[in-house]
Structure 1
Amino acid sequence: MRRVGAKAKQNRSVGLMKGNSGGKKKSYLAVLIPCVVIFFIFLLSQRPSEQKTGAPVRHHNFVKEREQAVLADTRERAIARGTEEGLIGKGKYRCAVVIDAGSTGSRIHAFKFEVEGEELTLLDSTFKAIEPGLSSFNEDPAQAGLSLVPLLDEAKAFVPAEIAGETTVELRATAGLRMLDPSEVQSILQEVHTVLQSYPFKVLDDAVSVMDGADEGVFMWVTSNYYLGNIGKPAEETASVIDLGGGSVQRAFALGEGQQVPATLEEDSVRTIAAGGRRYKVYVHSYLGYGLKAARMSFLKPYDSVEEGHPCMTRGYEGRYHYVDENVSVKSDDEVGASVEGCVAAIEWEMNLEEGCGVEGQCSFDGVWSGGGGGGSEHNYVSSYIVDIARDVGVIPRESTMSDVALGDFMKAAEKVCASDYSQVEQAYGHYLNNDTDLPFICMDVLYAYVLLKSGFKLSPDREFTVVKQFDYKGKKVEAAWSLGAAINTIGKHSVGEVIDHE
């Protein structure tokens, strides 16, 4: 990943106004008094205390002090009004628009930043989500582009018209599009590009793409640690992030200083990030096919053509499961019902927990190096579907946006859910995720969250971790999503001048 932060410092200047005297000099005192005042100021500036100690006489830079005062006053007035209009036109204020095109839906994030040299301060943001995701339009790509119109309208209303032409818009597709045929992906992205160009924002050459899963993980690490105020702190004081999407799951954390990385793995597993005056080596991996919706298909498929029911399905359910272009039959074992032990075994088998990664004792699952622990791996923030599951099965209150939980909380919830008949599940958990689409798989989902965190990412059963839907940032609720990291990256790579001049 490229350096996060502004690429070039903004040049600022402040014009000082000189006052004029409109009246005539009526006496010599009018001239004498200012001269006396100036003389005494001169004497005070030559204080013996400074000369005796050898300390240099400090001459104030009144222009710089005035500049700082004006900028501080501008910022204070802007914050007091609840807007940032006071920063427009002063080289201090930039916006960025990012569309997260996930496997189950598209989400837009628009941000307003104050720019201070290489530092970005988030002033405000907006968010809107729609369903379904772009991958569902593989047979009608034109509708993929049109589906984004409500999101872009939201961003257009948020970004001041005065700077819309210097505001970038980008769309980064994630796991859903990675699973489609390349020709289908190309058609969808072309339609998206056409729709983006119909708005006043700037569409750069690399603005529409299928994002690498590792980039998604790194951007999420930047976002979370930015909101937590950790950027600039030692690696051990930063947060690890685990982000469970529909098609993939990512983990990222900063390695400790001097921590050894297997030479054969460094290129794929470690990104160097410069932020907050520090350089971080961030371990990151994206497990494609292990997002919530994709993993369900992996867990269900082995039972598609067998007589016995699936151990993760609650008693009384029979139906089908569809994901991308695959369908499988699903039914429960009506004699036994769902089995926590049997469901966990089925999940663990498909996760390939025993597969080696080439580094003894440092493997996560599916043959992937875990990063080796240490550094910032101990303070875990878990987002996306795991938070939704936790809220909908009672692990945390439904209104909660951030809570500390333990692995045992998920197991207790699973034991309750999996012991229910499907009719009881419908009555007690009818609000679960997308209702009828997801409700049949509630037992499987809770246990997958448990196994993923405990056996996959080796989180300690004795240590709490944080599930987060939104961060509290400067008195506002902001979404826990990788999009902020992407916006910071884009602003860091492209100056205002480069954006404006882009054709």
Structure 2
Amino acid sequence: MCFFTILLGISCVLYMNYQVGPSEKKAWRDRSRPGLSRVQDVKEILLFENLESSFSSSQVSTEDPEKGFVIPNDGGDPDFYGVMFDAGSTGSRVHVFHFVAADGSPPTLLAELYNYTKVGLSKFAKKPEEGASSLKPLLDAALNFIPAEKWSSSPVALKATAGLRLLPEEEADALLEAVYQLFCDSPLHVEVKEKSITILEGNMEGIYIWFTLNFLLGVLGSSDKSTVGALDLGGGSTQITFVPNSPDTLREGEKLNYIDTFRFLHKTFKVYTHSYLGLGLKEARLQTMKLDHNIISKKLQPTTSKGNVFYSSCLPPNTTHSWEFNGLTYTALSVSTDIGAVYDECRSITKRYINDMNVHSPPEVYSMKFYAMSYFWTRGSEVHLIVCNNVQEKPFLCMDMVFISTLLTKGYGFEHDAVLEICPKIGKFEVSWALGATIDLLHTHWDHLAKET
């Protein structure tokens, strides 16, 4: 089990107690099918098998993809696949899920192929065809994973998150249209456009990841297990989703339009869910820097900063560091003179930014069990102990952790000693909204099939 304990003091110190599960199994099978290109510019392929099997180093190679393999499906018939593309602000990913369901029972997830690039689709805002082409290696990886006889019955969809939400509507629409044409030219099943290519609304992103989490935990449909809450932190937005038990939470949530429903099997769940655009890790870092810069610039005469260069209170004295986001490079110039004051100054400007975003604090978060995903995990797992004067290798890590802790405590309302579980996967599967979205996509596909018969 993985835990994230929030401890705040006079210096920037966050203790991260975590335990990483078994390393992901990397595998690849090359079927040498005509017309399929080998993956060259995709960063990594991860294959997760829901099978009680062990692998020796001689059986699975992480060096040569041709030596990898896929365990044959022995879960029964019928088995089926779903393909979900996640176009995020920091990169594009594909998830291919392999399920089996028999005798009317709920589907069981057998395996997942996960693959990604580090170039966000929004980077191609002015060149939509190039944006679609950037997804082709991911599409080829999906086709290599799915048996050819299953292609035509395996639906594919793309859902874009915060990166495309921030683009002008005409640019986002052009990108989505180009991707839709790419899918239509593939041998996979493609639903109508509005079901296949969409910008994922923030509340649905939260609901999907909540579903994924509770599906993998095996609590959905259980009469003796309670659901857990989900916290997600992406590059451009953050989401909170849970099933409220308190009438106060329901009442406040309904006033804010934060209450939604989600159906699974024969049960409908009423959930509290909201997405805060602008409070993703990368976007918040940028906007906090801009706010900090505007305040600092008024004190400095004359100012020498311009363009994408910002004064920052969140770096140690006499340091300058750059970072990239959405295809642009930003530079932060430290203005701190006292290393001991960095944490307080950074947290002060971070609190001001979060306060401006009007984050609602649900009344019952302190009494519920929550899992935190995405950047909550990746930042927390990078170090055990984070101090604001240690920036040689990860100059923005302290700033990011100050933001995370402030978001959790001053935003969502968690206590300073709250314990969050931050495992990146449940069992052998990654926790992401893509699984929930794929189940939703498959239901749409099955509904259409039922109408045709």
Q: TM-score, normalised by structure 1?
A: 0.67
Partner Cα separation in structure 2 for residue 223 and residue 277 of structure 1? 17
Partner Cα separation in structure 2 for residue 341 and residue 208 of structure 1? 44
Partner Cα separation in structure 1 for residue 94 and residue 225 of structure 2? 32
The one of 366, 373, 383 equivalent to 2:364 is: 373
Question: Contact 1:173–1:209 (CA<8 Å) still a contact in 2?
Answer: yes
Residues 124-158 of structure 1 show CA distances to partners (whole Å, capped at 9, x for unaligned) of: 11101111110111122111101111111111111
Partner of 2:344: 341
Q: Aligned pairs, how many?
A: 370
**Taking structure 1 as reference, are residues 136 and 499 closer, same or farther at Cα in structure 2, changes over 3 Å only?**
farther
AA aligned opposite 1:274: R
2:433 is equivalent to residue 482 of structure 1? yes
AA aligned opposite 1:458: G
Map of 1:125-144 to 2, 5 A cutoff?
125-144=112-131
The one of 84, 88, 108 equivalent to 2:94 is: 108
Partner Cα separation in structure 2 for residue 386 and residue 448 of structure 1? 11
**Taking structure 1 as reference, are residues 453 and 303 closer, same or farther at Cα in structure 2, changes over 3 Å only?**
closer
Partner of 1:63: none
Question: Contact 2:246–2:364 (CA<8 Å) still a contact in 1?
Answer: no
Partner of 1:40: none
The one of 414, 419, 426 equivalent to 2:389 is: 419
**Taking structure 1 as reference, are residues 164 and 377 closer, same or farther at Cα in structure 2, changes over 3 Å only?**
farther
How far did 1:266 drift? 5.6
Aligned CA RMSD, in angstroms, stands at 2.9
AA aligned opposite 1:345: S
**Taking structure 1 as reference, are residues 266 and 157 closer, same or farther at Cα in structure 2, changes over 3 Å only?**
farther
Partner Cα separation in structure 2 for residue 156 and residue 388 of structure 1? 29
Residues 262-289 of structure 1 show CA distances to partners (whole Å, capped at 9, x for unaligned) of: 3883683112223354332111000000
Partner of 1:361: none
Which has more helix, going by share of residues? 1
2:368 is equivalent to residue 385 of structure 1? no
Identity %: 30
Question: Contact 1:304–1:329 (CA<8 Å) still a contact in 2?
Answer: no
Partner of 1:38: none
Residues 162-211 of structure 1 show CA distances to partners (whole Å, capped at 9, x for unaligned) of: 11101100000000000011111011111111111222111111201111
Partner Cα separation in structure 2 for residue 232 and residue 293 of structure 1? 36
Q: Between Structure 1 and Structure 2, whose CA radius of gyration is higher? A: 1
Partner Cα separation in structure 2 for residue 201 and residue 156 of structure 1? 8
AA aligned opposite 2:400: D
Gaps of 5+ in 1: 1-77, 354-365, 396-412, 430-438
2:420 is equivalent to residue 465 of structure 1? yes
Partner Cα separation in structure 2 for residue 197 and residue 500 of structure 1? 22
How far did 1:322 drift? 5.5
Partner Cα separation in structure 2 for residue 190 and residue 93 of structure 1? 31
**Taking structure 1 as reference, are residues 478 and 142 closer, same or farther at Cα in structure 2, changes over 3 Å only?**
same
2:216 is equivalent to residue 220 of structure 1? no
Per mean C-alpha deviation after superposition, the further-off stretch among 177-186 and 154-163 is 154-163
AA aligned opposite 1:465: L
Partner of 2:150: 163
Structure 2 residue matching 1:256: 3-state secondary structure: coil
AA aligned opposite 1:494: H
**Taking structure 1 as reference, are residues 322 and 123 closer, same or farther at Cα in structure 2, changes over 3 Å only?**
closer
Q: TM-score, normalised by structure 2?
A: 0.75
Residues 292-335 of structure 1 show CA distances to partners (whole Å, capped at 9, x for unaligned) of: 11001111002335166522112332255664487765211252
Higher relative contact order (CA 8 A, sep 6+): 2
**Taking structure 1 as reference, are residues 484 and 241 closer, same or farther at Cα in structure 2, changes over 3 Å only?**
same
Map of 1:276-425 to 2, 5 A cutoff?
277-304=266-293, 306=297, 309-319=311-321, 323-324=325-326, 330-333=332-335, 335-337=337-339, 339-352=342-355, 366-373=357-364, 378-392=368-382, 394-395=383-384, 413-414=385-386, 416=387, 418-420=388-390, 425=391
Question: Contact 1:252–1:282 (CA<8 Å) still a contact in 2?
Answer: yes
Map of 1:441-460 to 2, 5 A cutoff?
441-460=396-415
Partner Cα separation in structure 1 for residue 224 and residue 86 of structure 2? 28
AA aligned opposite 2:445: H
The one of 147, 150, 154 equivalent to 2:134 is: 147
Partner Cα separation in structure 1 for residue 422 and residue 136 of structure 2? 31
Partner Cα separation in structure 2 for residue 217 and residue 462 of structure 1? 24
Structure 2 residue matching 1:272: 3-state secondary structure: strand
2:173 is equivalent to residue 186 of structure 1? yes
Partner Cα separation in structure 2 for residue 377 and residue 487 of structure 1? 31
Structure 2 residue matching 1:387: 3-state secondary structure: helix
Structure 2 residue matching 1:261: 3-state secondary structure: helix
AA aligned opposite 1:483: A
Partner Cα separation in structure 1 for residue 180 and residue 118 of structure 2? 19
2:241 is equivalent to residue 232 of structure 1? no
2:79 is equivalent to residue 93 of structure 1? yes
Partner of 1:359: none
**Taking structure 1 as reference, are residues 457 and 263 closer, same or farther at Cα in structure 2, changes over 3 Å only?**
closer
Gaps of 5+ in 2: 1-50, 54-69, 301-310
Partner Cα separation in structure 1 for residue 316 and residue 224 of structure 2? 44
How far did 1:459 drift? 2.0
Partner Cα separation in structure 2 for residue 233 and residue 344 of structure 1? 42
